Structure 1
Amino acid sequence: MPVPLTVAAVEALRAQTPGVKHTTHFNHAGSSLPSEATLEAMRAHLWREATSGPMEAGVAAREQIEQARTLASRLLNARPAEIALTTGNSPAWGGAFAALGTWRPGDRILVARHEWGGNLATMRLTAQRAGASIEAIPSDDSGAVDPQALEAMLDERVRLIALTWMPANGGLINPAAAIGHVARRHGIAYFIDAAQSAGQLPIDVTQVGCDVLTSVGRKALRGPRGTGLLYVRQDFLPRLTPAFVDTYSAPLDTNGEPVLRDDAARLEPSELAPALRCGLANALQEALDIGLDNIRARIDDIAQTLRTELAQIDGVTVLDQGRERSGLVSFNVAGQEAAAVQRTLAAQGVSIGSNGVAYTPFDMNARGLDTIARASVSYLTTTAEIDTLLDRVRGLIR
């Protein structure tokens, strides 16, 4: 049974994380810091490849590699057959979207105002070719997507509802389950981009009601870059025909005809790095061992402290929205571009992120924002690190 993340427990986890000795890291939403055990899992497999041969090493580590799928299903309360392992969030999301098939003139796609720019780019290329439309769902007075406004927009032409659960440009958490209730009631396909959510929030896909959910290993899960997760609800799978297949996702039968797999791996490429999967498996196990409820509680406490302290600095504006908030803290410093703030802090050993309009164009334009600085926390983040960041931000203003 996971136990609460006490100060001693956090220090123990930090002692097993080499990166905390070298940087004050507030860019966990970009990519977090892996543990020694995750690094060792990758190194050990690479050594097997070097000494036994890559193909032979893959066979020897097959059970360990496949464990990533099983652990991902536990993380999301799904079945292993509903999980595909991918190279990242965007390939997972784009692959599932492409598998929806042909779009027609007049088809409608409804998205939250905070939709990730990469997803919008994918949808727009398809919509422009087909004569379909992409429309933003209004937000409520907290800034979150409004389920009632969504319901009022629905008609028989709506083919997809897409939601970025935790936007990249700040601390908002959208009401994913409430949107899911609307989608299920009307039988409309529902995609969730959970790139920032997996590993930071407890997720139960059966409660959320999504057909497709995508995420990535390198963020809150503290896994390696180049890994991702794709959940496809089993009953929804027949509606997805991949735009690209290979001998793993659609092996040929005795007549030379491709036979699509009957699990989510029909959207999984055969050419994935085994070493990265070994690292992902370890990172998933660590998150489950700590407990997602514990992670959520710790991150929420740290992020709220950081927001409160930043808001008290003259010249700093905290930009987060929503009634429920994540570990992404967005702010701007008066008279300074966010990218310049990021560079200055990096030179002082403090890592943050900065986002432009292209990341979340509907929301940034609606709020009149050109850029935002983003300090994203982890359960690894300490009070001392917050004090360091605050001191450096005060120094920017002085």
Structure 2
Amino acid sequence: MLDEHVRRHTPGIDGRQVFLDSAGSSLPPQVVLDTVTGHLHREAEIGGYRAAAERAEDLDRVRTSVARLLNAAPGTISLTDSATRSWLDFVTAVDIRPGQRVLVTEVEYHSNAVQFLHRGIPFDVIPSDAGGTLDLAALDRMLDGDVALVSLVHVPTNSGLINPVREVVELAHARGALVLLDACQSAGQLVLDATELGVDGLTGTGRKWLRGPRGTGFLYVRPDIADRLHPATVDGHGAEWISERELRLHQDGRRFELWECDVATRLGLGAAVDYLLELGPHRVEDTVRERAQRLRSALDGLGGVTVRDPGRDRCGIVTFTVDGVAAHDVRTELSRHDIIVTTSTRRSAVIDMDRRGIDAVTRASPHYFVCDAEIDRAVAAVAEIAGSA
């Protein structure tokens, strides 16, 4: 358990609501709120350019903080406006030649999948094993010289499953394929060591488990493959115009960044990452897993409620259905009790939801600041809904 002080540092904890949607957009700690609003006030006083210049070193330190979180070098980090933007920056920079294809998991996220469809990039789906986890034996059979990239979702949007990473990387690299890890739902709740995992790219967002502002994200690129990537979009921040017909791409993470950004929220991302680093990522992971398992076990014991999380290794996302009650109605009824959850629907993970025959699930995601009494209150409310169905 983390200390009570994290609750005191969170303005959104008011004794009334039970917040179980950190997999959507979490409650920021006070330091993040102060950082963002403080910079906006400074922009209003002296203008955006001068305010940004005052914080130039702090902006550079945001990359350093993200790098510390991932056990990576600062030069491998690019700061973006979302996990999706980061993912797109990597995928569009990969040289996928005619005849090559991509492999995706059954839990591929819709924003990722639609890009392959939109761009006409062929992809095959790696099946899951009987427990719902990516089937490593099947992946081994599917890898050949025609696979350019494995798009690996670490934690899906619609369940608490955790996919293996290091094993996927070893198989893919042995066949010459790159691995891009979508860590949108794992960054901030699970310890991520990009160097140890060996992934070629890793993408994340600030607004979920990191407790940062919306409109923030980051991209990690393994240094050994950086020169093989060709950014689809560059400006005068990511490249230097050195003569009339010549440019030079920066050799660090700036090559994937654009000059224009929201400085206030980017500083807020740095504050959120620093807050997590101070708490300790291992401590946070242990607490989040414990919070989720307490909720999952309690829900599993309720009549008329089915926990829908597959896999053997599970994280802070807890999904469930209530017999005879639509997921959105469960969410609405819980909201009347000031219990904040969300839903995951078929459109967000078509392959996985169709395979499991589910249209929608209610998704609860307790962060480390959620206490026992709040989890018990949520369980009692779900029991009431199930009992009234």
CA–CA separation in structure 2 for the residues paired with 1:158 and 1:254? 38
Q: Which amino acid aligns with 2:61?
A: Q
Q: Deviations over 1:150-204 (max 9, x none)?
A: 0111111111101100011011000011111112222211101000111111111
Contact 2:116 2:122 in 1 (8 A): no
1-structure distance, mates of 2:262, 2:246: 27
2:84 is aligned with 1:97: no
The alignment status of 1:14 with 2:13, answered yes or no, reads no
RMSD, aligned CA: 1.2
Match of 1:362 among 325, 348, 351: 351
Correspondence for 1:39: 33
Secondary structure of the structure 1 residue equivalent to 2:241:
coil
TM-score under structure 2 normalisation? 0.97
**Structure 1: gaps of 5 or more residues:** none
Look up the match of 1:225. Answer: 214
Structure 1 range deviating more: 165-174 or 182-191: 182-191
Candidates 171, 177, 180, aligned match of 1:188:
177
In structure 1, the residue matched to 2:111 is: 118
Structure 2 distance, partners of 1:122, 1:103, is 16
**Following TM superposition, by how much is the alpha carbon of 1:392 offset from its aligned partner in structure 2, in angstroms?**
1.3
SS of corresponding position for 2:357: coil
| CA displacement 1:44-102 (0-9 Å, x = unmatched) | 11111111111000000111122110000000011100000000100110111111145
The 3-state SS of whatever aligns with 2:102 is strand
1:56 corresponds, among 28, 34, 50, to: 50
Matched, 1:245 2:234: yes
**Letter matched to residue 270 of structure 1:** W
Runs of 4+ in 1 over 3 A off after TM superposition: none
State the SS of the aligned residue for 2:242. Answer: coil
- The reply on whether 1:351 has 2:345 as its aligned counterpart is no
* Residues 92-149 of structure 1 deviation map (CA, whole Å, 9 limit, x = unaligned): 1011111114541x322111111111100111112x2xxx421111212221002221
Deviation at 1:384, TM superposition (A): 0.9
Contact kept, 8 Å, 1:184 with 1:209, in 2: the verdict is: no
The aligned residue for residue 317 of structure 2 is 328
**2:80 alignment counterpart:** 86
Give the AA of the match of 1:122.
Q
**Contact in 2 for aligned 1:83/1:231 (Cα 8 Å):** yes
Q: CA deviation at 1:259?
A: 1.6
Number of equivalenced pairs: 386
8 Å Cα contact 1:356/1:371 also seen in 2: yes
In structure 1, distance between residues paired with 2:173 and 2:276: 30
Task: Please give the alpha-carbon distance, in whole angstroms, between the structure 2 residues aligned to 1:168 and 1:256.
Answer: 45
Following TM superposition, by how much is the alpha carbon of 1:271 offset from its aligned partner in structure 2, in angstroms? Answer: 1.0
**Alpha-carbon distance in 2 for matches of 1:103, 1:392:** 53
TM-score relative to the length of structure 1: 0.95
Matches of residues 1-398 of structure 1 in structure 2 within 5 Å? 5-6=1-2, 9=3, 11-21=4-14, 23-101=17-95, 103-104=97-98, 106-126=99-119, 128=120, 132-397=121-386, 398=388
1:357-397 CA distance string (max 9 Å, x none) = 12111111111111111001101111111111112112212
